[in-house]
Amino acid sequence: MLPIRDQNPSGRTPWMTWALIAVNTLVFMAYYPLGTEESVRLVYHEWGMVPAWLSLGYGFLTPMTAMFLHGGWLHLALNMLFLRVFGDNLEAEMGPVHFLAFYFLCGIIAFALQYVAAPYSPVPIAGASGAVAGVMGGYLLMFPRAKVELAIYYVIGVRLWAAPAWVLLGLWFALQVWGGMMAPVGGGVAFWAHIGGFIAGVGIATRTWRLKGGRLFWTRFGGLPPHPEAHVAIPVVRGRGAVLPPPQPRGLFRKLDES
């Protein structure tokens, strides 16, 4: 399942969100596509966060630089997709400067929790995942009932579904906790960074939520972003060349829509 967009876009150009996407992409293009395996590995060890080095008193700035490193095209694409989907409404409520500070603070806290989980690991940690997880956490607090459209890939085609943010992001967070408990620390996924970033996002966004009215903000807009709903029809592709109209919500999603 991949989130494509929410149904209440901010209607404004999220300049800071796009700037973060551009910087992440440019940094990635600067070292990855034309680099050798050895040179890319050196970039990760030099600019990624290596917990063992922090424990020895080196590399205190690497949690900042590591946010802009990615382990491959898919890693970059997924992080930037999630940032684009969940960043625009949050930036609209916080303002671009506060959103940028929010992003960096969530990323630092995410790396800090990953460090605490394995302070002597020699494996470099890199990626915007922790900061993006913070954006997702902030989005969940501010807009719990926002509808997020998901492209679901299955054996014979693609289908589009709309799920409330509290379902999608709650399930995502539960999977990160499960992964953090079950997977070995220092593996291929920094689950504890995701967990730390998400919790930080909820906590830090509480200030903005309260300034907007707290529960009154939820009541006023029904837990949705305070922007008009926008529907964009996307056909459902099944098999070879068969194009069907977008499906209507049913089952669990219909019940959630009506609640």
pLDDT score, position 188: 75
Q: Could you give the C-alpha distances from 147 to 108, 117, 133, 250, in angstroms and in order?
A: 29, 34, 18, 14
Pick the CATH number of 2-230 from 1.20.1540.10, 3.40.50.1000, 1.10.3720.10, 3.40.50.970: 1.20.1540.10
pLDDT score, position 237: 47
Place of tokens 């209440």: 8
The Cα–Cα gap between 156 and 154 comes to 6
The Cα–Cα gap between 197 and 82 comes to 14
Q: Which two tokens stand for residue 62?
A: 């690497």
Q: How many CB atoms lie within 10 A of CB 222?
A: 11
The residue type found at 74 is: L
pLDDT means per 10 residues in the chain (259 residues)?
86 94 96 88 94 93 96 94 96 97 97 94 94 97 94 75 92 93 75 96 97 94 88 51 47 42
The Cα–Cα gap between 170 and 173 comes to 5
The residue type found at 39 is: S
The β-bridge relationship of strands 2-6 and 236-238 is unpaired
pLDDT score, position 249: 47
Helices (H), the chain: 15-31, 37-47, 51-55, 62-66, 73-94, 96-117, 129-142, 165-182, 191-211, 215-221, 252-258
Residues near 215 by Cβ (< 8 Å), separated by ≥ 6?
none
Place of tokens 């898919």: 74
Half-sphere exposure at residue 103, Cβ-oriented, CA atoms within 13 angstroms: 28
pLDDT score, position 182: 83
pLDDT score, position 75: 94
pLDDT score, position 185: 63
